[in-house]
Amino acid sequence: MKKNIKKEILLIILESIFNDSSGEINDSNCISFYHFLLDTLEGEIKQISSVNDSSLCCSIIDLLCNFDILGEDFTFWNNENIKNYLKDFSGLYEQEFQESIYKFRKIYISTKDEFLLDFP
């Protein structure tokens, strides 16, 4: 998969999972942010006590680490498919998913803010 396609898919994933349509994370800083976000989520998973939150965090990390090798074409990457992938991988029902994703969206916002403050 070409680098520009990976960036585009990553931005779609971020928008789908975290409702980030701000444009603050873009093709010029998304790779740095990707690594920063993964480091944050991997640190966060060690502190999570809820099984549902832990399952969803693992699902998000897995998707972020492997989206480029899943073998899906570009049309796969939309809100519904990404949400279904995370729900299936984590084994969460809709309500459990909604409760957990809300927590990760808050984590994402603070992670993004921290990244943008430190980004040159």
Q: What is the pLDDT of residues 14-30, one digit of tens each?
A: 999 999 999 999 999 99
Q: What is the pLDDT of residues 39-84, one digit of tens each?
A: 999 998 888 878 889 999 999 999 999 998 887 677 889 999 999 9
Q: What is the DSSP letter of 81?
A: H
d(C-alpha 92, C-alpha 66), whole Å: 20
Specify the higher pLDDT residue, 38 or 68: 38
pLDDT tier, 32 (very low <50, low <70, confident <90, very high otherwise): very high
Highest mean pLDDT among 70-84, 91-105, 106-120 belongs to 91-105
Residues 6+ apart with CB under 8 A from 13: 63, 64, 67, 77, 82
Q: How large is the angle between the packed helices 30-45 and 51-66, nearest 10 degrees?
A: 150
In this structure, what is the dihedral angle of CA atoms 76, 62, 92, 45, given to the nearest 10 degrees? -150
- pLDDT of the residue at 57: 94
